[in-house]
Amino acid sequence: MKKNLPLSGARRHHSGFSLIELLVVVAIIVILAGIVIGALIKVNKSRDIKQTRVTLKNIALKLEEYASENNGIYPVGEDASSAILYNALSGDYTGQGQAPTGPIYWKELNDKKNPSLVGTLQGKKIILDGFGQSFRYRAALDKNGNLVEEVKNDGDFDLWSVGPDGEPTDLNVSGHLDNEQTKDDIWR
Separation CA 167–CA 161 (nearest Å): 9
Along the 188 residues of the chain, how does pLDDT read in single tens digits? Answer: 556 655 555 566 667 889 999 999 999 999 999 999 989 888 888 898 899 999 999 999 999 999 999 988 889 888 888 889 999 999 988 888 888 888 999 888 888 877 788 988 888 899 999 888 889 888 888 888 888 777 776 668 888 888 888 777 666 665 555 656 666 778 77
Which residues, at least 6 apart from 165, have a Cβ–Cβ distance to it below 8 Å?
A: 181, 184
Global confidence as pTM: 0.73
- SS3 (DSSP) at 187: strand
- SS3 (DSSP) at 32: helix
Separation CA 168–CA 171 (nearest Å): 8
Separation CA 171–CA 173 (nearest Å): 6
